[in-house]
Chains A and B, each alone.
Chain A
Amino acid sequence: MTADEQTGEVNVVKRAAALWASEDDLTSDDSVETIQSYRVSELRKLTFVFVCIAAAVLVAGLSITYGTMDIGFFECYEVIWNHITGNVGDKLIDYIIVDERLPRIAAALVAGAGLAIAGCVMQSVMKNPLADPYTTGISSGAGFGAALAVTLGISFVAGNYAIVVNAFVFSLIPMAMMLGVGKLKKASPTMMIMAGMAIMFMFNAFTTVLKLQADPDALAKLYSWTVGTVADCEWSEIVMMFVVVAVGVVLTQIFSRKLNILATGDDSAKAMGLDVENMRIVLLLLISLVVATVVSFTGLIGFVGLVAPHVCRIFVGADNRYLVLSSAMFGAVLLEIADFVGRTAIAPATLQVGVVTAFIGGPMFLYLIMRQKKSTW
């Protein structure tokens, strides 16, 4: 470097440092333009969130009007209104709309939102695009709990809720083990997800052993639970799921900025003031409760938790302030569409929602990852 060049470089540096040391001017043309451009990008992301919310409402509204029995579009809403006002006309139609169609639509929306938010948080916390309720072993734990109840009759409660309660309790075991690993010194997100996968294989092996010993009836019942469905949910169960999922979504949204900080790496996040270990545990505990609740009522519905956050990342990026809510709403839409297709595509027979999510979600996801221009992960 010549003396002139060196002097030039020093001047560049002095100017840069002086700029940094200068007072912030919020009113300069440059600043106003940058602020406006940032607000536009915020608005674009918020628009996607609202589009997802609107789509959830629209899809739910439309799917009420379709089914094996031909009931007119406006008649469906009239029936709902009459039911609310206590003015029930045709009891059969009232039963079909209020007790058959509405619960499964509500269950699909709530379960879809719960699974999607779980995937979103797990992927962000563990910094792994493949993290979801399956790869963290939570679904396998639930599956083993259900298998115990169905094949050996071992359950925490008797009666109709034997599978549900078993699934819930056993889905918490992988979570507890994973959090235990997280508490170890130097535990990294990669170590946690590897622990989750080890737990998944262990529970799957136990379940396979139980299946091998099971009689055909028990096997059929277990199989139907493991494929996953929202058709059997009752209103009391949906309310329970809704409360847990709503608390999960609200708290995760509140923590969304901290999720962004966490994504920069453990040392970096700590240096920005975040209590990384505790934050990770709080988020995983919260999300595990959401997944355990959903899975115990619906059975194992795959794909939504994995795919919904990735699709939303394509539209809103990795900023969790927008990703959390849009994932929840997109998951709700995805599961609702899957259930709608499942009950109408080959009517009067129905397809399990878990099968349809993979059929619809798979190609859609492949298409989106192939056409995206910017790398998101």
Chain B
Amino acid sequence: MRIDIENMDAGYGDKKILHGIDLHLEGPGLTCIIGPNGVGKSTMIKCMNKLLTPTSGTVKVNGRDVKEMSRKEIANVISYVPVQTDDVFAMPVFDTVLIGRANKSKWKTSPQDIVKVKKALEVLGLTELSDRPFNELSAGQHQTVAIARGLVQETEILILDEPTSNLDIRHQIFITSLMHEIAVQKNVMVIMISHNLNIASMFADNIVLMEKPGRIKQIGPANDVITAENIKDVYNVGCEIVIHQGRPVMLLDQILN
């Protein structure tokens, strides 16, 4: 499994967000994309599975240009968990997650699909919510259900757009570490956007640090990327870095001018 982005520019209409992105990811593991708001993190991951077409450059998945792949072909390789899910006509949580099996199942739901959904709900601690309508859940539960739907798609690459943005600290740790463990145990490439740098630092195998205006500043292990200098340059925030359990942890200071 691999994703290769070369010299990619992308944006919306005339507004260019990303500039000359080069990113090469290979093999299982958790990659966290970090960076300030509006820097193009979501734009970049949307280019990986053709939700957005780059204005120039190439995006290849397992060596194939995504432009030449059908949506179905991409869905068989990459699952995607958006930051928000529509819930106008909501189904129970179980059925909502079951939709994620669309690329695997036929019209009639198979026992395999049912068991897979049951397992995903159990893994994410959602079993008790199984019969609850999706639109009656909290924002955090919504996100967790969306992650379950991404999991049951059972692809070799899983992309998550800020999956922990509505979660409390315990669940942020749980989801991020679970993604790391699933990447290891199930041989999956997990790419997720995160704003919690300390949690990303604890569990990510690789960190992609993005900076304005829509560029990648550095890619590498947390110890190389999460530095006081990088944080100051990218976020304009002062901090002290201490090493805890072999990983850098940020002690925040104050906003710089």
Contact = CB atoms under 8 A, between A and B. Distances in A.
Interface of A: 1, 9-10, 12-14, 16-21, 24-26, 30-31, 34-35, 38, 42, 123-124, 127-129, 185-186, 257, 260-261, 263-265, 267-268, 270-275, 313, 317-319, 321, 374-377
Contacts of B82: 265, 267-268, 271
Given A9-B177, A270-B51, A318 B90 contact: yes
B119 A17 contact: no
A24 B115 CA distance: 7
A20 B177 CA distance: 14
Interface of B: 12-13, 46, 49-51, 70-72, 74-76, 78-80, 82, 84-86, 88-92, 94-96, 99-100, 102-103, 107, 109, 111-112, 114-116, 118-120, 122-125, 133, 135-136, 146, 149, 151, 153, 170, 173-174, 177-178, 181-182, 184-186
A21 B115 CA distance: 13
A28 B103 CA distance: 25
A273 B71 contact: yes
Contacts of A127: 86, 88-89
B115 A273 contact: no
Nearest to A377: B89
A264 B146 CA distance: 10
Contacts of A24: 112, 115-116, 119
- The 8 A-B pairs at the shortest CB distance, nearest first, are namely A273-B75, A17-B181, A271-B80, A318-B89, A265-B86, A273-B72, A21-B185, A127-B88
Contacts, number: 152
Contact of A13 (B79, B112, B177): B177
A273 B75 CA distance: 5
A264 B99 CA distance: 9
B177 A374 contact: no
A254 B100 CA distance: 18
29 contacts: A13-B174, A14-B181, A16-B178, A17-B182, A17-B184, A19-B123, A20-B120, A20-B186, A24-B112, A26-B112, A30-B118, A31-B118, A34-B114, A34-B118, A129-B89, A263-B88, A263-B89, A265-B86, A268-B82, A270-B71, A272-B99, A273-B71, A273-B74, A317-B91, A318-B91, A319-B95, A375-B136, A377-B90, A377-B135
Nearest to A19: B123
Contacts of B90: 318, 375-377
Contacts of B76: 273
Contacts of B91: 260, 317-319
Contact of B115 (A34, A128, A321): A34
A255 to B, nearest CB: 11
